Structure 1
Amino acid sequence: MTEHPVNGIPHSILDTRGLPGKQAFALWQEHISRYYDLRTQKEHPHAFNVRADFWHLGNVLFADFRVPPQDWSRSRACIGRDGLDLFMIQVLTTGWNGPRDSGGTARPGDILVCDMAQPTNRRGGDNHALTLFLPRNLLGPRLKAPDEHPLRLLPAHDPLAALLRDHLLGFHARLSGMLLGQAQAVIPATVQLIAAAINGAVGEEQAGGIRLAMTDRICSYINAHILDPNLTPESIAGRFGMTRRNLSYLFESYGGVAAYVRRKRLSSIRVALSDPARKGQSIEAIAEAHGFKHYRSFALAFHKHIGLTPREVRARSLEGKALSSMSCDDLAEWAQWLEFMK
Structure 2
Amino acid sequence: MNRRADGINAWNDIVLESFSGSSVDAAASEFPAELARCSIEELNFICVESQPSQVHRWATERPSGSSGIALLHLQDTGQGVNHQCGHSVPLAPGNGVLCNPDQQYTVDFKTPYRMFIVELPIRRIAGRRPMFDLEQDAGLGVNAHKSRMLLSLLRSAWSEFEFLGDDEDWRQCVSRAGVELALGALGGVSCPRPVGPSMELRRAVIEHIRCHIDDPNLRPSAIAAKFGVSRRTIQSVFEKMSTTPSAYILDERLRAAVEMLREEKGSRTITDVALSSGFSDSAYFSRCFHKKFGVPPRLYMKR
TM-score normalized with structure 2 length: 0.58
Which residue number in structure 2 is paired with residue 178 of structure 1?
Answer: 164
1:223-302 map, 5 Å:
232=220, 234-236=221-223, 243-244=226-227, 257-263=234-240
Deviations 1:172-195 (A, max 9, x none): 333221127332443333222222
Which residue number in structure 2 is paired with residue 320 of structure 1?
Answer: none
1:304-323 map, 5 Å:
none
- CA spacing shift, 1:142–1:112, aligned 2, 3 Å: same
2:145 maps to 1:145: no
2:157 maps to 1:168: no
2:142 maps to 1:154: yes
State the shift of 1:153 in Å: 1.5
Q: Supply the distance in 1 between the matched residues of 2:22 and 2:153 (Cα, whole angstroms).
A: 31
Q: Supply the distance in 2 between the matched residues of 1:217 and 1:75 (Cα, whole angstroms).
A: 39
Q: Supply the distance in 2 between the matched residues of 1:40 and 1:215 (Cα, whole angstroms).
A: 50
1:166 aligned partner, one-letter code: S
SS of the residue 2:90 aligns to: coil
State the shift of 1:37 in Å: 3.1
Which residue number in structure 2 is paired with residue 109 of structure 1?
Answer: 94
State the shift of 1:94 in Å: 1.1
1:92 aligned partner, one-letter code: Q
SS of the residue 1:91 aligns to: strand
Q: Percent identity?
A: 13
Equivalent residues of 2:73, 2:97 under 8 A apart = yes
1:52 aligned partner, one-letter code: L
2:56 maps to 1:52: no
Equivalent residues of 1:95, 1:108 under 8 A apart = yes
2:9 maps to 1:13: no
* Residue of structure 2 aligned with 1:214, choices 193, 210, 214: 210
- CA spacing shift, 1:162–1:84, aligned 2, 3 Å: same
Equivalent residues of 2:78, 2:93 under 8 A apart = yes
Larger RCO, structure (CA 8 Å, separation 6 or more): 1
- CA spacing shift, 1:215–1:98, aligned 2, 3 Å: farther
2:128 maps to 1:132: no
Equivalent residues of 1:49, 1:67 under 8 A apart = yes
2:13 maps to 1:24: no
Which residue number in structure 1 is paired with residue 103 of structure 2?
Answer: 118
TM-score normalized with structure 1 length: 0.52
Which residue number in structure 2 is paired with residue 71 of structure 1?
Answer: 54
Equivalent residues of 2:141, 2:188 under 8 A apart = no
State the shift of 1:244 in Å: 1.9
Q: Supply the distance in 1 between the matched residues of 2:212 and 2:148 (Cα, whole angstroms).
A: 27
Q: Supply the distance in 2 between the matched residues of 1:79 and 1:183 (Cα, whole angstroms).
A: 36
Deviations 1:308-335 (A, max 9, x none): xxxxxxxxxxxxxxxxxxxxxxxxxxxx
Q: Which runs of 5+ in 1 are unaligned?
A: 1-11, 202-209, 223-230, 248-255, 269-342
State the shift of 1:23 in Å: 4.0
Equivalent residues of 2:12, 2:23 under 8 A apart = no
Equivalent residues of 2:8, 2:31 under 8 A apart = yes
Equivalent residues of 2:72, 2:118 under 8 A apart = yes
Report the structure, 1 or 2, having the larger strand content. Answer: 2
Q: Supply the distance in 2 between the matched residues of 1:56 and 1:78 (Cα, whole angstroms).
A: 28
SS of the residue 2:133 aligns to: coil
